[in-house]
Amino acid sequence: MTQAGPETPAGAQDIVFDHVVKTYPNATVPAVDDLSLTVPAGEICVLLGPSGSGKTTALMMVNRLAEITGGDIRIGGRSILDLDPIRLRRSIGYVIQQTGLFPHLTIAENVATVPKVLGWDKKRLRERVGELLELVGLPAGEYGRRYPAQLSGGQRQRVGIARALAADPPVMLMDEPFGALDPITREHVQDEFLALHARIRKTVIFVSHDIDEAVKMGDRIAIFREGGKLAQYDTPRTLLKEPADAFVARFVGADRGLKRLTLTRLADLADAGALTPARDADAALPQLAADASLRSALSLMVAEGTDAVRVTEPRGPADGSDGTGPVLGVASLDAVRKAGAA
């Protein structure tokens, strides 16, 4: 955590869309229509919506890969229209689905691309590349001299993130960055990115078409409808609990109650005093570590045919959530249901 606290992290900047319109040349209707929203500094905002609803266009207007045709976008209070597009782009991290790594450059050279353009000296470049590759779990000594083709898809995506962070930009734009990864790798890279974000607190705009990804990654979610109109902008919890209209309700899915359970951990129940003390008779109950979600707890109860789980203290990340630490108490189906409805 920075000195200023997570709400106003040092170095991050808010992004304001102020009545933004984008109508492409020769188009009869706008791709983005009167978009107004603020992404607070240091938060992750996920743009979600059906195909063609204007998510990528909204994202690309921030770094002027698509020029706005109405309204304004301000980063840290400065209009993007007052900035030179090339300089603006260098000051914003950009991660896309096909990582866009240069195949003929090594991993270290790829990560160094922008700082090199900015004229950093060799020593500073080398240190920064080492630091960034370490940060994304690909130590330079082992991976720096390899070429993109010699990495897995998930590793390439991590290099893409390291490269986007190279010049320490206050803002990152990510367009379906994990879309091409298989589900298991995607989960890993999402977790890694969230852990990384907790440390670096950049302001991130992240395009996704996957509601589960949006709920997991977003501090806030902007749902777009056809015609590039903003349907709702809220925290995942509010969006799932109070969809603004039938379109949003349909988009987030009939299982939105279950999705909401992913937002609460068993540890939250423990903190709220909603666990009951474990008795000897509870020894046969299935158990889960406190960092598991209420959805996992419910799923385990259904699978095991019980109406409670024992909650254990996780001993560390290496333990996963299989529940091997000391027992904290028992979470009943009723407690899970009540917490899910809250």
Ligand X SMILES: Nc1ncnc2c1ncn2[C@@H]1O[C@H](COP(=O)(O)OP(=O)(O)OP(=O)(O)O)[C@@H](O)[C@H]1O
DSSP state of 80: G
Binding mask 127-156 for ligand X (x = CB under 6 A): ------------------------------
Residue 177 or 314: which CB sits closer to ligand X? 177
Q: Which stretch binds ligand X (CB under 6 A): 52-60, 112-120, 235-243, 246-254?
A: 52-60
Q: Would you say 3 or 51 has its CB closer to ligand X?
A: 51
Name the residue among 211, 96, 94, 89 with its Cα closest to residue 157. Answer: 96
Instruction: Give the interface segment with ligand X, choosing from 55-63, 86-94, 160-168, 232-240 (CB under 6 A).
Output: 55-63
Coil, strand or helix at 26 = coil
Taking CB under 6 A as the rule, does residue 53 contact ligand X?
yes
**Would you tell me how many other CB atoms lie within 10 Å of the CB of residue 227?**
13
Q: What angle do CA 51, 52, 57 make, to 5 degrees?
A: 120
The rounded distance, in Å, linking the Cα atoms of 318 and 315 is 8
Q: Specify which residues 339 forms β-bridges with.
A: none
Min dist CB 17 to ligand X, Å, is 14
Name the one residue in this structure whose structure tokens are 């390439």: 156
Q: Is there binding between residue 55 and ligand X (CB under 6 A)?
A: yes
Measured from the CB atom, the residue of 54 and 115 that comes closer to ligand X is: 54
- Residues in CB range of 145: below 8 A, 6 or more apart: 106, 107, 108
- Beta-strand ranges (E) seen in the chain are 15-22, 32-39, 44-48, 70-75, 78-79, 92-96, 171-175, 203-208, 220-225, 229-234, 287-289, 308-312, 327-332
Whole-number minimum distance, CB 49 to ligand X, in Å? 6
β-pairing verdict for 171-175 and 92-96:
parallel
Q: Among residues 32 and 162, whose Cβ is nearest to ligand X?
A: 32
Between 96 and 112, whose beta carbon lies closer to ligand X? 96
Kindly tell me the sign of the dihedral angle through the C-alpha atoms of 233, 234, 240, 242. Answer: negative
Report in angstroms how near the CB of residue 62 gets to ligand X at its nearest.
13
Residue 32 beta carbon to ligand X: minimum distance, rounded to whole angstroms: 7
Helix axes 122-135, 153-165, angle to 10 degrees: 130
Rounded CA separation 111/319 (Å): 33
Look up residue 172 and give its amino acid.
M
Q: Say which residue the tokens 């109860």 belong to.
A: 301
Selected from 74, 116, 146, 209, the binder of ligand X by CB under 6 A is 209
Binding ligand X (rule: CB under 6 A), the pick from 57, 63, 203, 264 is: 57
CB of 272 vs ligand X, minimal distance in Å: 38
What minimum distance in Å lies between the beta carbon of 251 and ligand X?
Answer: 12
- Name the residue among 46, 38, 32 with its Cα closest to residue 18: 38
By CB under 6 A, tell whether 52 contacts ligand X: yes
Q: Based on CB atoms, which residue is closest to ligand X, 146 or 209?
A: 209
Report how far residue 309's alpha carbon sits from residue 246's, in angstroms, rounded to the nearest whole number: 35
Residue with smaller CB distance to ligand X, 201 or 220: 220
Total of residues contacting ligand X (CB under 6 A): 12
Provide the minimum distance between the beta carbon of 39 and ligand X in the complex, in angstroms, as a whole number.
17
DSSP 14: -
Residues 12-51 contacting ligand X, CB under 6 A: 24, 27, 31, 49, 51
Q: Closer to ligand X at the Cβ: 8 or 69?
A: 69
Tell me which residues touch ligand X (CB under 6 A).
Answer: 24, 27, 31, 49, 51-57, 209
